[in-house]
């Protein structure tokens, strides 16, 4: 067993209990704990979901290391995680009975990295169409939703060109596809090893951030806006001298001092339930594709999070909970 795996085997658990990934300090990845909790009790407003997948997100790591304490104070210990994909196994009497046994994705603000959860907010739960895999649908949470939010906020128009930093990550791989879908050209910035992936997703130009920019700067003359998903000041410092009077939107860093005639805006926000339905339809119609980098059993969350930090990203890393039956 790898040093990063929890020592407690997932199979050893008392009757009527579930396992959850718990943050107990701000010491980061290696201080996470696998804990056993009672099965949550159903109430009339809730549906009980058997978790199948949860996305491993930078948000988890920022929370674990205390970097979000100013904007999101939390009480420890707490269950970690934001999004989930699962199967509805029980429905409270005030919720739609037709949800029973349906595959769903959703947002669980109180923590999603657990074997079962109670979802009590109907606008944060979405049925997954039959022809979309649950793993693919789960990547919408914290990935395509953020990409769609940023895309709408930028008001990019067909024929514009957007430069995307952090393009190979879980948000970026959707943002390239959304831009392509709406007739917006993309210049994607990523690691050399992700060049083929970025081109396959629809990027017209790819910039390798690990090579000198002077050799690749021709493609930058057409850029009308920048969406920053890398959050690296040094990368923006290298890129901005080659850009004209662009607007830079960032989901990843709150502050940046742009060059004269360039405007920097930090953005953060949510999309509407109807937007999630639209994204699910795009997956069903194969107009969008989920890029899944790796899947790990939830007991290996430490390994998964270390990979998120240490490996060059290629879409989303997922934690898995049970065998998928669909
Ligand atoms: N505010 C919101 O509502 C919201 C919502 C979702 C996400 N976010 C933020 O958006 C950002 C992207 O999220 P994500 O889930 O897509 O993360 P991710 O999958 O980890 O992707 C991050 C990307 O940034 C690149 N990157 C990081 N440091 C870099 C550097 N110094 N130079 C060049 N590239 C660098 C990575 O490239 P390599 O893999 O090659 O290192 C990777 O492609 C994160 O900061 C996340 O917290 C914000």
> Measured in angstroms, how far is the CA atom of residue 149 from the centroid of ligand 1?
15
At residue 323, the pLDDT reads 54
168 lines ligand 1 (CB under 6 A): yes
Q: Which atom of ligand 1 is nearest to the CA of 57?
A: 15
Output the pLDDT for position 221. 85
Percent helix, strand and coil across the chain, each to the nearest 5: 30, 25, 45
Dist. CA 220 → ligand 1 center (Å): 21
Q: Which CATH topology does 17-139+290-320 take?
A: Quinone Oxidoreductase; Chain A, domain 1 (3.90.180)
Q: How much distance in Å is there from the Cα of 179 to the middle of ligand 1?
A: 18
pLDDT attached to residue 322: 80
Q: Whose CA is nearest to atom 25 of ligand 1?
A: 166
CA nearest ligand 1 atom 35, residue: 230
Give yes or no for residue 312 CB within 6 A of ligand 1.
yes
Q: How far is the CA of 230 from the centre of ligand 1 (A)?
A: 4
Tracing tokens 């959703």 back to the chain, one arrives at 106
Ligand 1 centre distance from Cα of residue 162 (Å): 17
Tell me the helices (H) and strands (E) count for the chain, helix number first: 8, 16
Question: For residue 36, what are its two tokens?
Answer: 């056993």
Residues 6+ apart with CB under 8 A from 251: 146, 150, 171, 227, 228, 229, 266, 267, 268
Beta strands in 69-155 (DSSP E): 78-79, 83-91, 103-107, 116-119, 125-127
Q: What is the pLDDT of residue 12?
A: 40
pLDDT of 70 reads 84
Single out the residue of 237, 205, 198, 232 nearest to residue 220, CA to CA.
Answer: 205
CA-nearest residue, atom 20 of ligand 1: 169
Residue ranges matching CATH 3.90.180.10 in the chain: 17-139+290-320, 142-266
How much is the pTM? 0.95
Predicted local distance difference test score (pLDDT) of residue 152: 98
Cα(205) to centroid(ligand 1), Å? 19
Q: For the chain, list residues with pLDDT below 50.
A: 1-12, 324-326
Ligand 1 atom 21: the closest Cα is on which residue?
Answer: 169
Superfamily (CATH) of domain 142-266:
Medium-chain alcohol dehydrogenases, catalytic domain (3.90.180.10)
For ligand 1, atom 38, the nearest C-alpha belongs to: 312
Say what the pLDDT of residue 6 is. 43
Q: Looking at residue 15, what is its pLDDT?
A: 62
How far apart, in whole angstroms, are the C-alpha atoms of residue 23 and residue 309?
Answer: 18
Pocket test for ligand 1, best of 58, 67, 175, 269 (most atoms within 8 A of CB): 58
Nearest Cα residue to atom 23 of ligand 1: 166
């Amino acid at each position: 067993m790898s040093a990063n795996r929890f020592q407690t085997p997932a199979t050893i658990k008392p009757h009527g209990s579930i396992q959850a990934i718990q943050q107990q300090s701000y010491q980061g990845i290696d201080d996470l704990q696998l804990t056993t909790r009672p099965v949550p009790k159903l109430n009339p407003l809730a549906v009980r979901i058997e978790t199948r997948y949860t996305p491993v997100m930078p948000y988890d790591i920022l929370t674990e290391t205390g970097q979000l304490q100013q904007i999101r104070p939390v009480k420890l210990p707490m269950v970690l995680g934001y999004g989930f994909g699962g199967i509805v196994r029980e429905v409270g009497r005030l919720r739609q009975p037709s949800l029973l046994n349906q595959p769903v994705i959703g947002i669980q603000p109180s923590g999603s990295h657990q074997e079962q959860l109670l979802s009590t907010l109907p606008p944060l739960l979405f049925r997954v169409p039959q022809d979309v895999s649950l793993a693919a649908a789960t990547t919408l949470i914290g990935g395509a939703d953020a990409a769609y939010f940023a895309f709408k906020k930028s008001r990019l128009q067909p024929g514009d060109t957007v430069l995307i930093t952090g393009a190979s990550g879980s948000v970026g791989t959707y943002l390239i596809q959304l831009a392509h879908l709406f007739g917006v050209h993309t210049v994607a910035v990523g690691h050399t090893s992700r060049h083929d992936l970025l081109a396959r997703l629809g990027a017209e130009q790819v910039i390798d951030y690990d090579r000198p920019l002077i050799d690749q700067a021709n493609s930058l003359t057409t850029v009308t806006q920048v969406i920053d998903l890398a959050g690296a000041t040094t990368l923006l410092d290298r890129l901005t001298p080659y850009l004209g009077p662009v607007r830079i939107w960032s989901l990843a860093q709150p502050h940046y001092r742009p060059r004269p005639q360039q405007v920097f805006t930090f953005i953060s926000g949510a999309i509407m339930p109807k937007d999630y339905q639209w994204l699910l339809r795009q997956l069903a119609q194969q107009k969008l594709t989920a890029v899944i980098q790796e899947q790990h059993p939830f007991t290996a969350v430490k390994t998964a999070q270390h990979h998120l930090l240490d490996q060059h990203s290629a879409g989303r890393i997922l934690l898995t909970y049970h065998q998928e039956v669909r």
